[in-house]
């Protein structure tokens, strides 16, 4: 039976036999629409692999995570039932705490700073942080920088006090809102809109593309452009599988992944800016832009969260993240 590869909440699957006579078959299943950055990335991966490795590797793209779903995909990868995935960084918390550096609020100035960190030594080292768990990172894929939406205008940290915010499961995010005097409720993404609509929570943190696609702006009268954290995915492989691929083939696949990553991240940022413009045009939410002084007030309020998680994330990772900021280096 051939092993399977899967890529991401987009579940990528590579069935392979490394004998020259039998090509590696990559089954790529995804839960998102083909016109999203991830969906386009899957199709681009298929096209480039089959152009550059004809007869050696073929790719089949399947929708709707029909091979493995979110709940069991990482365990399938570790068992070598699946060889490639690109889950949200939040899903790796049980395997390493170091990736929580991307959740630390107001640590990075903007997406450019995130990109610089991910391309430098510490960011590249984090891709290897789970190899003891048989998980090797290959690339970071962006969803976008997070913004704060709420039923009241959030200009200063004290404005969030008393509100309840939806979060993904994350100890850092719980601490982030506790520092603001706010509650944090773990709610599935599919239920965020109704939870905002019925008042179960009064706010949330999301990239522009999530806010617009889920129509959150229609039930959130204020959105503060905080860019306070990044919602990213990591493309990962089963370690033993990945390094068992013949070197020449793996080198070509790595080059293709680099190209696809560039396009996925560019498309994600384009989508976020387009959706921000659509939200502004809709007129249902006031978009609040922080002054440099207001942003620094938020950062100062959040520094205790950095300190709280310094020992588990690694002070070296936090310090390296701060050095990529050009607006604020302290």
Helix, strand, coil percentages, rounded to 5, for the chain: 45, 20, 35
Nearest to 87 by CA among 138, 128, 48: 138
d(CA 30, CA 62): 6
Q: Please, are residues 193 and 199 in contact by the beta-carbon 8 Å criterion?
A: no
Task: Tell me the pLDDT tens digit for each residue of 124-139.
Answer: 999 999 999 999 999 9
d(CA 228, CA 230): 7
Q: What are φ and ψ of residue 26, in 5° steps?
A: -105, 115
pTM of the model: 0.87
Q: What is the pLDDT of residue 18?
A: 43
Identify the DSSP state of 291.
Answer: P
Question: Is the CA virtual torsion 298, 329, 231, 273 positive or negative?
Answer: positive
* Position 192 confidence tier, pLDDT thresholds 50, 70, 90: very high
* Position 21 confidence tier, pLDDT thresholds 50, 70, 90: low
User: Euclidean distance between the first and final Cα of the chain, in Å?
Assistant: 55
Task: Tell me the pLDDT tens digit for each residue of 244-297.
Answer: 889 999 999 999 999 999 999 999 999 999 999 999 999 999 999 999 999 999
Q: Please, are residues 207 and 145 in contact by the beta-carbon 8 Å criterion?
A: yes
Highest mean pLDDT among 48-57, 236-245, 303-312: 303-312
- CB-based contacts of 124: which residues, under 8 Å, 6+ apart? 118
The Cα-based distances of 65 to 32, 87, 250, 328 in angstroms read 9, 12, 25, 41
**Tokens 């969030």, residue?**
160
Q: What is the pLDDT of residue 145?
A: 97
- Token pair recorded at residue 9: 């909440």
Average pLDDT of the chain is 88
């Amino acid at each position: 039976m051939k092993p399977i590869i899967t890529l991401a909440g987009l579940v990528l699957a590579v069935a392979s036999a490394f004998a020259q006579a039998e090509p590696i078959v990559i089954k790529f299943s995804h839960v998102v629409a083909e016109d999203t950055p991830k969906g386009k990335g899957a199709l681009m991966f298929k096209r480039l692999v089959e152009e550059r490795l004809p007869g050696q590797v073929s790719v089949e793209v399947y929708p709707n995570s029909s091979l493995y779903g979110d709940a069991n995909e990482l365990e399938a990868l570790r068992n070598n039932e699946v060889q490639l995935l690109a889950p949200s960084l939040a899903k790796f918390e049980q395997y390493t705490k170091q990736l929580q550096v991307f959740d630390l609020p107001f640590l990075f100035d903007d997406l450019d700073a995130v990109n610089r960190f991910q391309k430098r030594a510490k960011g590249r080292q984090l891709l290897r942080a789970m190899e003891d768990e048989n998980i090797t990172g290959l690339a970071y894929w962006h969803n976008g920088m997070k913004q704060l939406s709420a039923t009241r205008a959030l200009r200063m940290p004290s404005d969030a006090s008393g509100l309840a915010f939806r979060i993904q499961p994350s100890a850092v995010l719980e601490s982030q809102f506790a520092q603001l005097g706010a509650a944090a409720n773990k709610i599935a993404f599919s239920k965020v809109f109704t939870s905002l609509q019925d008042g179960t929570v009064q706010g949330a943190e999301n990239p522009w593309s999530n806010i617009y696609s889920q129509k959150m702006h229609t039930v959130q009268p204020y959105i503060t452009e905080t860019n306070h954290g990044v919602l990213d995915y990591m493309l990962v492989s089963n370690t033993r599988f990945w390094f068992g691929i013949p070197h020449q083939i793996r080198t070509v696949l790595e080059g293709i992944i680099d190209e696809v990553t560039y396009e996925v991240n560019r498309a994600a940022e384009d989508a976020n800016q387009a959706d921000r413009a659509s939200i502004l045009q809709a007129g249902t939410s006031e978009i609040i832009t922080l002054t440099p002084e207001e942003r620094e007030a938020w950062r100062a309020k959040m520094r205790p969260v950095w300190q709280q998680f310094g020992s588990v994330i690694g002070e070296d990772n936090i310090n390296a993240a701060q050095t990529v900021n050009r607006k604020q280096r302290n």
